[in-house]
């Protein structure tokens, strides 16, 4: 499904955080939102998932305004991975099963259980399924939270810093899974990213946010040393290594 953000404006009290933000993400695309801390990236995701309500603007999934979609249906359409999560006394298996809540009426079905096992295998979490989430490392917990979103079988997947707390091997693994599942299942994936190199390697399109406004939006052509300098205030050198674009800060 296509995600359309049209003229979104949001403020915390008198402090404006988002101002006239507009872009579109097509079905099956991996779209990274980039920018410095405090530029409004996480706030934008919260507006899309209805945790926050924009002061102005429209958010559409295909032609449906999310304001008119009830929370139960929204849970089937959007999977959301927040920036921070904490463990509890639930097992990994039960945590993933909780992601099936929008589909469960009285009790979990055979299909619900099968989907949980499928995602456990996909994320290499099978050996941890009966561990309590509070016993997991930060990286393991992050994979569980991503898994909980995936078992929802969402049309739109929102991930706020999905590689947070992951080592380099797991960063690459998670980003590849997100890209592969977006393509194979036609999921519209929107990621808040800090690592420009990971974003460049796995994303189709990008939005650069600066002071709550869209500075640039498009494909790899918008990730230039000039734009990075203007958004992040850092000089960089860009090149390709074995076919992959690489951003190197110049200190």
Q: Domains of the chain by range and CATH?
A: 3-89+153-249 (3.40.50.300)
pLDDT value of position 183: 93
Q: Average pLDDT, stretch 68-94? A: 83
pLDDT value of position 86: 65
Q: Average pLDDT, stretch 38-59? A: 92
What's the pTM value of the predicted model, to 2 decimals?
0.90
pLDDT value of position 63: 84
Closest CA to 185 of 24, 27, 3: 27
Strands of 156-160's sheet, edge to edge? 78-81, 156-160, 188-192, 30-34, 205-210, 213-218
- Which pLDDT band holds residue 210 (cuts at 50, 70, 90)? very high
How does 151-184 read in b/e, with b if 16+ C-beta sit within 10 Å?
A: bbbbbbbbbbbbbbbbeeebbebbbebbbebbee
Tally of CB atoms within 10 A around 58 = 14
Output the CA–CA distances (angstroms, integers) from residue 175 to 16, 30, 136, 202, in the order listed.
32, 10, 20, 7
Q: ∠ at Cα 108 (132, 148), nearest 5°?
A: 45
Q: Average pLDDT, stretch 159-178? A: 88
Question: Facing residues of 79 across strands?
Answer: 157
Output the CA–CA distances (angstroms, integers) from residue 135 to 84, 87, 123, 144, 189, in the order listed.
16, 7, 18, 12, 29
- Which pLDDT band holds residue 191 (cuts at 50, 70, 90)? very high
pLDDT value of position 120: 94
Output the CA–CA distances (angstroms, integers) from residue 214 to 29, 50, 126, 134, in the order listed.
19, 21, 41, 38
- Which pLDDT band holds residue 164 (cuts at 50, 70, 90)? confident
pLDDT value of position 246: 93
Judge whether residue 14 has pLDDT over 80: yes
Percent of the chain with pLDDT strictly greater than 90: 61
pLDDT in tens, 85-139: 666 788 999 999 988 888 877 788 889 899 999 999 988 899 999 999 888 888 8
Judge whether residue 1 has pLDDT over 90: no
DSSP assignment string, the chain: --EEEEEEEEEETTEEEEEEEEEEE-TT-EEEEE--TTSSHHHHHHHHTTSS--SEEEEEETTEEGGGS-HHHHHHHEEEE-S-----SSBHHHHHHHTTTTT-SSS--HHHHHHHHHHHHHTT-GGGTTSBGGGS-HHHHHHHHHHHHHTT--SEEEEESTTTT--HHHHHHHHHHHHHHHHHHT-EEEEE-S-HHHHHHH-SEEEEEETTEEEEEESGGG--HHHHHHHHS--EEEEEETTEEEEEE--
Q: Round the average pLDDT of the chain to a whole number and report it.
A: 90
- Which pLDDT band holds residue 225 (cuts at 50, 70, 90)? very high
Q: Average pLDDT, stretch 170-195? A: 91
Question: Facing residues of 159 across strands?
Answer: 81, 191
pLDDT value of position 87: 63
Sign of CA pseudo-dihedral 59, 156, 169, 196 = negative
Q: Average pLDDT, stretch 8-24? A: 92
Judge whether residue 249 has pLDDT over 70: yes
């Amino acid at each position: 499904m296509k995600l359309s953000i049209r003229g979104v404006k949001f403020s915390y009290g008198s402090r404006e955080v988002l101002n006239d933000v507009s872009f579109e993400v097509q079905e099956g695309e991996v779209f990274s939102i980039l920018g410095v801390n405090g530029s409004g990236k996480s706030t934008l995701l919260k507006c899309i998932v209805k945790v926050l309500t924009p002061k102005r603007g429209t958010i559409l999934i295909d032609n449906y305004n999310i304001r008119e979609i009830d929370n139960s249906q929204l849970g089937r359409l959007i999977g959301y991975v927040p920036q921070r999560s904490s463990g509890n006394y639930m097992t990994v298996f039960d945590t993933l099963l909780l992601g099936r809540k929008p589909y469960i009426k009285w009790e979990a079905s055979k299909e619900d259980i099968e989907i949980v096992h499928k995602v456990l295998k996909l994320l290499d979490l099978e050996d941890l399924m009966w561990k309590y989430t509070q016993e997991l490392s930060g990286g393991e917990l992050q994979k569980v939270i991503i898994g909980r979103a995936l078992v929802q079988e969402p049309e739109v997947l929102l991930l706020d810093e999905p590689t947070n707390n992951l080592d380099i091997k797991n960063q690459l693994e998670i980003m590849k899974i997100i890209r592969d599942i977006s393509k194979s299942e036609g999921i519209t994936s929107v990621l808040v990213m800090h690592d420009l190199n990971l974003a460049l390697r796995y994303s189709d399109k990008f939005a650069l946010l600066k002071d709550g406004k869209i500075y640039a939006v498009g494909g790899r052509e918008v990730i230039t040393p000039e734009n990075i300098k203007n958004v992040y205030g850092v000089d960089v050198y860009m090149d390709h290594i074995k076919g992959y674009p690489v951003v190197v800060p110049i200190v």
